[in-house]
Amino acid sequence: MSNVNQHISQLREDFMKGELSETTLHKTPDLQFEHWMKNAIDSKANEFMAFNLCTVSKDHKPASRIVYLREFGSNQFYFYTNYNSRKAIDISGNKNVSLTFFWPELERQIRIEGTIEFAEKEKSDTYFNQRPIESKIGAWSSPQSEPITDRNTLEKLVQETTEKFKDKNIERPKFWGGYRIAANYYEFWQGRKSRLHDRIAFTLETNHWKIERLAP
């Protein structure tokens, strides 16, 4: 372990792949996000739609996990999950969340903060209906975040659900669906040489976005 720690402590890398300037910055964060997301897609960044979702429970304990962005626009971000999961329990007691996108191929990071609500039922139905059958079965089968005895327990639940819906239309379960995050803060981070990174923040104040450069 000491060799691993020594290796980590000695790692050094300069960031040289870009810059973030106020002169080229979009004036609203949703357009800047869309621009950077398109760059990530065009550059074939690995898991470009994945983000770290941080929730905080009602007793102030944070928890993070990676989820997939499924839709965005007008400073709103959508993802889908089990409404009985740990993240959902946290959300029920605290509507403040944060998102982090990280694209090492571009040496870029975006941090977003906002408040979260259930997505429209129609959106959840539409998204669920376009999922593969196996994913629909999985959503019905898994008691997400609850302890289970072993892998065989999960596989047995999947088998039972498969039999239940054999030759039937699989509708979205009431305990599964989408969330919509309304952003009120963004920070766009571009890695730069000598750790003098570019950081530009957008903060929503009385329906207007205040733009500030932050020290690295």
The pTM of the full predicted model, rounded to 2 decimals, is 0.93
Nearest to 92 by CA among 186, 185, 179, 183: 179
Domain borders along the chain are 17-131+174-214
- What pLDDT shows up at residue 44? 96
The CATH homologous superfamily of the domain defined by 17-131+174-214: Electron Transport, Fmn-binding Protein; Chain A (2.30.110.10)
Using alpha carbons, list the distances in angstroms from residue 29 to 24, 55, 197, 213. 13, 22, 19, 14
Per-residue pLDDT of the chain (216 residues; tens, 9 = 90+): 678 777 666 656 666 788 999 999 999 999 999 999 999 999 999 999 999 999 999 999 999 999 999 999 999 999 999 999 999 999 999 999 999 999 999 999 999 999 999 999 999 999 999 999 999 999 999 999 999 999 999 999 999 999 999 999 999 999 999 999 999 999 999 999 999 999 999 999 999 999 999 999
Using alpha carbons, list the distances in angstroms from residue 82 to 2, 78, 91, 136, 155. 40, 14, 12, 12, 18
